[in-house]
Amino acid sequence: MGIANQLDLHQLRAFHALGQCGGFSAAARRLNLTQSAVSHAVAKLETAAGVALVQHAGRQLRLTDAGRRLWLACEQVFATLEAAAEDLGESRSLGQLRLGATTEFGSSVLMRHIGPFLADHPGIELDFTLGYDLLPSLLRDDLDLAIDCRQHLLPELDRLPLFRETYVVAGSREFRTARAITSPRDLGSCPVLSMDKAGAWWHRLLLALPEPERPVFARIIGLNDLRAMINAAAAGLGALLAPTYSVLRELQRGELVPLLPHIGPVEDWFCLYQKKSKASLRKHQLLTRFLQSISPGEFGL
């Protein structure tokens, strides 16, 4: 009997979950099994395969070369099975999709535009996760797709550019008048709001300027939430660098005004990421086409 005939589907699922989650406890929670059941299944799979699939280095667990090859095969096999199940159940329900997005984009844009998709596809149960570090969840299959402005150039991921993310330097009208801001170097003498105390958040502006024109920030106010930064800028606490879409309402109401209207900070790309093994699933394709149909002009991009 060949090795392929000895590989058990339940053992393969336990091993696949272990590779996704990076630990026996997390894999057990995902599969609603005990930790010992997952450990036993993986051990039996290693016996059937005749090679070590997992190795331990202290508390770290990683796949061997053989384990990585088998895990990638599992990715393809289970995606194929999911596609087959999707095809069989097409008339009833396409099942669940978990979509991730950056926090401010998800709350400011996605929630206002996703309604038509939900109305047109009641057979898809769509859930959302908003955050700033989406890649680990996508690789663990805690997310099916993710809209992210960070670049993820991994061979197992499909990357589809959606639209550019533009930025604006803004502050309250009173702040601009009191600080007499007319050039980038003027920012060096006033407080600026940043996700980090080192001011790395402002690299998009600094990269857009010749070195002699780059400000040296004397006062950086750290805030780890973009919406809090926007509210702080509107209250006159400091200068703000923010995605244009996130401050459209404040700009339209006059709560914020551009401080450097003739300077365009370096732009990012919003891209849609998903595993290549899942990109052909019908529910993935439906959501992908819908996201491509959204006009960036609707939210200031």
pLDDT for 90 equals 54
Task: Summarize pLDDT for 142-151 with one digit per residue, the tens.
Answer: 899 999 988 9
pLDDT for 1 equals 45
CA angle centred on 42, ends 36 and 43, rounded to 5°: 85
pLDDT for 57 equals 72
Alpha carbon of 43 to those of 5, 14, 48, 52, 78: distances in Å?
17, 10, 9, 9, 20
Q: Which long-range contacts (CB under 8 A, 24 or more apart) does 86-90 make?
A: 86/281, 86/282, 86/283, 87/282, 90/282
Contact call for residues 137 and 100 (beta carbons, < 8 A): yes
User: What one-character-per-residue DSSP string does 1-52 give?
Assistant: --HHHH--HHHHHHHHHHHHHSSHHHHHHHHT--HHHHHHHHHHHHHHHTS-
Question: What value does the mean pLDDT of the chain take?
Answer: 88
The region, left, alpha or beta by phi > 0 then psi within -120 to 50, assigned to residue 300 is left
Task: Summarize pLDDT for 63-107 with one digit per residue, the tens.
Answer: 898 988 888 888 888 877 777 777 676 545 568 899 999 998 898
Q: What are the counts of helices (DSSP H) followed by strands (DSSP E) for the chain?
A: 14, 12
Name the pTM for this structure.
0.72
Neighbours of 243 (CB within 10 A): 26
What DSSP designation does 76 have? H
213 pLDDT band, cuts 50/70/90, is very high
Domains contained in the chain, CATH given: 3-87 (1.10.10.10), 94-164+268-299 (3.40.190.10), 167-258 (3.40.190.10)
pLDDT for 91 equals 46
Task: Summarize pLDDT for 173-192 with one digit per residue, the tens.
Answer: 999 999 999 999 999 999 99
Mean pLDDT of 11-17: 88
- What is the SS3 assignment for 216? coil
pLDDT for 219 equals 95
Task: Summarize pLDDT for 243-282 with one digit per residue, the tens.
Answer: 998 999 999 999 999 999 998 888 888 999 999 988 988 8
Residues 159, 271: Cα–Cα separation, whole Å: 6
Alpha carbon of 203 to those of 170, 196, 209, 220: distances in Å?
15, 11, 10, 14
Residues 103, 108: Cα–Cα separation, whole Å: 8
Mean pLDDT of 53-72: 84
